Amino acid sequence: MTDISTPRRHVVAALLITAVLTIAPASLARAAVQETRYQVPAKICDIDWRKGTWQVKQLIRCAAAHWHVPGGADTALAIADRESRFRPIAYNPSGCAGIYQHMLEYWPVRASAYGFPGWSAFNARANIIVTIKMVKQGGWGPWT
């Protein structure tokens, strides 16, 4: 009986090791995705943009200062004014939406990449912070 149970133990051990090695990386990957999902803590520029234009402008000023964008808050405000007049629900029939008029076909990828997966382009907080982080990385080129 000892001869039969030893191979079984080896098979069971191999199956357990395989299961652990298969499940652990998946769990770590899910944890990494959850970490990137919340890249922008709510405490950064915690301004309720729904209260009006003044708050939208304050959110832009805060984000521009926090991420040190080229041209600073003045440039960020001038472009937001030109694109949407600071209206979060601004929409262009060409398919652009929000404060900084992101093309809706590109928005989901951009939002995910910059910490707002699943958020709407009409959400001013997401639109502003995604834009500011994009500008920090690559400049104002898409908006000039």
Q: What pTM was computed for the model? A: 0.72
Looking at CATH, the fold of the domain delimited by 49-143 is given as Lysozyme (1.10.530)
Are the CB atoms for 95 and 106 separated by under 8 Å? no
Per-residue tokens: 51:
């209260």
- What DSSP character marks residue 96? E
pLDDT at residue 36 in the model: 42
Can you tell me the distance from the alpha carbon of 43 to that of 47, in angstroms, rounded to the nearest whole number? 9
Domain definitions of the chain by residue range: 1-37, 49-143
pLDDT (tens digit, 0 to 9) for every residue of the chain, 144 residues total? 455 566 676 666 655 555 545 454 444 444 444 444 445 666 889 999 999 999 999 999 999 999 999 999 999 999 999 999 999 999 999 999 999 999 999 999 999 999 999 999 999 999 999 999 999 999 999 998
